[in-house]
Structure 1
């Protein structure tokens, strides 16, 4: 298990970095808030198919950023609560909810993940959802899994969709392994730009942790959650490597005949009655 030892103020640094990203992201073509307001969904096509009917179900989205995934589930009928540690992101999410007429079915709360149980007032949910690019910002997955379990009702499920950790080990061309899949501890980055189009940031430092797939599964099992499936996907949400091409799912994949690796994965884990 990785920890935040010897990484001073990692939470403050990351919060400041993400606060700075919000205005850039909100104005970016990548996030396309105008298209979202007009009715676009940000969920991958396989997500509704895997999670099933969410109408009338209580869904908590951890690390929700500007709330587009959260509100995409609300558009499908869920009663949603989004949580993020960035106040500007939550403010943007609340505005989006109002803009698309879902303010009555969508609640957004400012909190870091580890304080989610207290921040949400002890509420329990049928579904906890965590989307792409979230886990690298958390130093302790055992603690995260316990929070997920505490947020779920008995019989409730975590639905996790993430970038595959293998993709973090390759170079920018996706042709060579340049990072240790099992690297311990934190990695600090200082980058003037976020991953979208737009101007440079002013708070440029962030701290991240690479979590192998086995660490994720083991943390959830240790928190009393039963893994129902783990699916690895050959597509991703953006053109991470030059060889990737747009496919029929609105994602990106290696072309036919190119050797493939998993680019994303999805996982469903259920809290059985009497679970911890």
Structure 2
């Protein structure tokens, strides 16, 4: 497990999170009025969350976490970024939506939670989560350790087949890096600003312009088979596996076609690719 890499990424995310939230109009008012930042895919895979104990791993600034609380879940959000967790706590207070947020490296948090006997009916991660995981086996074991018997882990993420290509749809990276880190000197970018409103359902404002992250970031390229096998090896049972030929809120290629304000397909003339995938894994009773 590369805790040095985790610390590098914490600094990069601290810087980027401020830029991201600068583009979003009054999020507390949006959530108070019943707004949600969730997409249909994760809502479908999660199912009825009302009354469920739900932990949102790598929750970022808490918008999805609080949207799940709005559906009746008892939520705990966990993220490594100090800035993200501070913002999430403020958003919970301002919106009046109950949610607990804890700042921690996800590995350390899951180990501590398991030792303390904390168990959850649902664990959830989404959209750019797996690429930050440095030790896939330890991650999967940690998830298995915090699920109650019969509990489910739900993942919706961008497909590694899509992240093999650069913005001109030219092959640039391997399907799997085999656990080797991939360094981005420019760090976590301002993808919210670049999304032109697709990631700001509360309303888009210009906010920070020409953002330059002073901290590099380090990611990993994991194949879908590696993610699924890690969960199986940790004792979980794969209940559902989905792939989608579109991306929610993400435009990795130049000229992508918008199906809606928040959903995009490959550019004209480029064959469909799996751009997202979903997994539901269950801890046996």
Normalised to the residue count of structure 2, the TM-score between the two structures is 0.86
Question: What RMSD over aligned residues (CA atoms) do the two structures have, in Å?
Answer: 2.1
Pick from 58, 65, 73: which aligns with 2:68? 73
Q: Partners in 2 of 1:255 and 1:170 — Cα distance?
A: 13
Unaligned runs of at least 5 residues, structure 1: none
Aligned counterpart in structure 2 of residue 241 of structure 1, from 240, 248, 253: 253
- Aligned pair 1:94/2:105, yes or no? no
The whole-number CA distance in structure 1 between the counterparts of 2:138 and 2:161 is: 23
Conservation of the 8 A alpha-carbon contact between 2:50 and 2:71: yes
- Within 5 A, what are the aligned runs for 1:1-276? 4=2, 9-29=4-24, 33=27, 36-37=30-31, 38-103=33-98, 106-120=99-113, 121-174=116-169, 176-184=170-178, 185-191=180-186, 193-197=189-193, 198-199=208-209, 200-237=211-248, 238-248=250-260, 250-254=262-266, 258-273=270-285
Unaligned runs of 5+ in 2: 194-207
- C-alpha separation in 2, matches of 1:249 and 1:123: 39
Report if the CA contact (8 A) 1:19-1:86 is conserved: yes
Q: Structure 2 CA distance, aligned partners of 1:10 and 1:216?
A: 20
Q: Distance in 2 between matches of 1:83 and 1:231?
A: 25
Deviates more, 1:61-70 or 1:257-266: 257-266
User: Contact 1:226 / 1:271 at 8 angstroms: preserved in 2?
Assistant: yes
TM-score normalised by structure 1 residue count: 0.88
CA spacing shift, 1:36–1:245, aligned 2, 3 Å: farther
